[in-house]
Amino acid sequence: MEAFFDSAATSWDSRTTAGSYEYLEPLAVALGKVEVRPERVLDIGCGTGEATLFLAREFPMAGVRGVDLSEEMVRRATRKVGLDPSARVSFRVGDGSDLPWLEDSFDLVVQVNVPLFPREVARVLRRGGEFVSVSTLGADTPFDTPERWYRRALIRAGMLPAASGRAGTGTWRIARLSGDERSG
């Protein structure tokens, strides 16, 4: 997986429409519906960082982190922010199934075209935090999770599916971390 995406990273921005309005439209629509005003935001499977930078723009007061399994994706994302002395936006290598953050680290966790990691998302989210997952081509990507699996996996992890919809060519979903019961 890392090797595949390391190699894909070299032409990701020119081959995909990752930074375009069309690509980010379902994310933009979903962000307009989240209830939290986040101070800490995480983008899982951030790739070359286009959605992460969009999050930084949408939430100018928030610290925004991007994490990806591929070193080359993270290198390219990091180049876009340079050294960023404020450290408001930064990227690091890490696995969505074993995130390198403590519990309760984020108010908002986002992922665009990435498989689900519900238990880890629930672990790093603060209570009442929200989770946005986007598939830019709806069900037509290998990264989309069918609705029934999505609901079951999220509920098992202690999150409640809250809203979903279509925008442009894609789909978006929002879930909230419920009460105190985080299941293991």
Ligand X SMILES: C[S@@+](CC[C@H](N)C(=O)[O-])C[C@H]1O[C@@H](n2cnc3c(N)ncnc32)[C@H](O)[C@@H]1O
Which residues of this chain interact with ligand X, rule CB under 6 A?
A: 1, 5, 18, 44-47, 50-51, 68-70, 73, 95-97, 112-114, 143
When the beta carbons of 169 and 178 are compared against ligand X, the nearer one is 169
When the beta carbons of 27 and 34 are compared against ligand X, the nearer one is 27
Distances in whole angstroms, Cα of residue 162 to Cα of each of 34, 39, 176, 181: 10, 21, 7, 17
Q: How far is the CB of 18 from ligand X (least distance, A)?
A: 4
| Exposed/middle/buried for residue 164 (C-beta within 10 Å: 0-12, 13-18, 19+) | middle
- What residue is closest to ligand X based on CB? 47
Identify the helix (H) or strand (E) that includes residue 171: strand 170-177
Q: Which residues contact 54 (CB under 8 A, 6 or more apart)?
A: 24, 27, 28
When the beta carbons of 51 and 154 are compared against ligand X, the nearer one is 51
Q: How far is the CB of 17 from ligand X (least distance, A)?
A: 9
Q: How far is the CB of 142 from ligand X (least distance, A)?
A: 8
Q: How far is the CB of 134 from ligand X (least distance, A)?
A: 8
> Do 120 and 94 contact (CB within 8 A), yes or no?
no
When the beta carbons of 102 and 181 are compared against ligand X, the nearer one is 102
Provide the CA 170 distance to its chain's centre, in angstroms. Answer: 15
Cα within 13 Å of Cα(66), Cβ side: 29
Q: How far is the CB of 112 from ligand X (least distance, A)?
A: 4
What values do phi and psi take at 60, rounded to 5? -65, -15
When the beta carbons of 1 and 180 are compared against ligand X, the nearer one is 1
